[in-house]
Amino acid sequence: MRVAGSRVLVTGAGQGLGFAIAVAFARAGAHVVVTDVNAARVQEAIMKLKETGSAICGYTLDVTSQEQIEQVRAQLLAEHGPIDLLVNNAGIVFGGPFLNVPIERHQTTIGINLGGVLAMTHAFLPDLLSRPAGHIVNIASASAVIALPMATTYAASKWAVLGFSESLREELRVLGHRHISITAVCPTYIKTGLFDGVQPGRLTGWLTPEQVADAVVRAVEKRREFVMLPWIVRAIYALTAGWPRSWYQAMCRAFGVSKSMTEWKGHAPQSDPRPQ
């Protein structure tokens, strides 16, 4: 897919990985649509992104509000036209033992991480289908394929996002919409503040938002279906695909993955309880 000149909508683009993705696409010549639940962050992101020289616009958007999604879509169509690329990035995590996390936080996690992806895709897929080429990027996680204790609902939401990506891609192929591509991105821990306090597994370390953002742009350009970062995790996943599940889990324990979320702190307390 040609990125330059395409219109890209990124959810949760006010900070962190979402902002890095917006920057990467803007530098590649795309027209970027910044959305975030926090209105002030939208304006800050727009001001910073204008330095790239690309066309930038933005809207306040709560991905759990169907009404707001439809309003933003209608306004975007009226002011700029349909998008060519949707990046479902908005997400949240609450760490801790399953029973120690209030059920409302579990439900919020599912609502944003999975419900937001479903709602945004359902609203904008008709626009993508109308374009000569369209692309959806769903930011999942390495926890979509690896058990992650102390973040059970986060992992569940990302498993679901990966399954949704795989199934919708095949559905579109069956229905003859081969001009639409879907990429599921599965990174390990990213240094955005969302996972403060975490101890990454051995040999993995921290990813930077810029590393992941650049990988997203490359994946779109090459129509890659699945991206796992960093390379060492991708290699281990490929090499152990045929292992018994018990062996694989034992390896994850040996590498420290199973205890990596034990000291999770996340974002510092703020007025907006849903870091995007």
Q: Catalytic residue numbers?
A: 154
Nearest to 161 by CA among 235, 226, 237, 106: 226
Cβ(14)–Cβ(41) under 8 Å? Answer: yes
- What does the radius of gyration of the chain's CA atoms come to, in whole angstroms? 18
- How is 59-125 classified by DSSP, letter by letter? EE--TT-HHHHHHHHHHHHHHT---SEEEE-------S-GGGS-HHHHHHHHIIIIIHHHHHHHHHH
Cβ(113)–Cβ(140) under 8 Å? Answer: no
Residues in the chain: 276
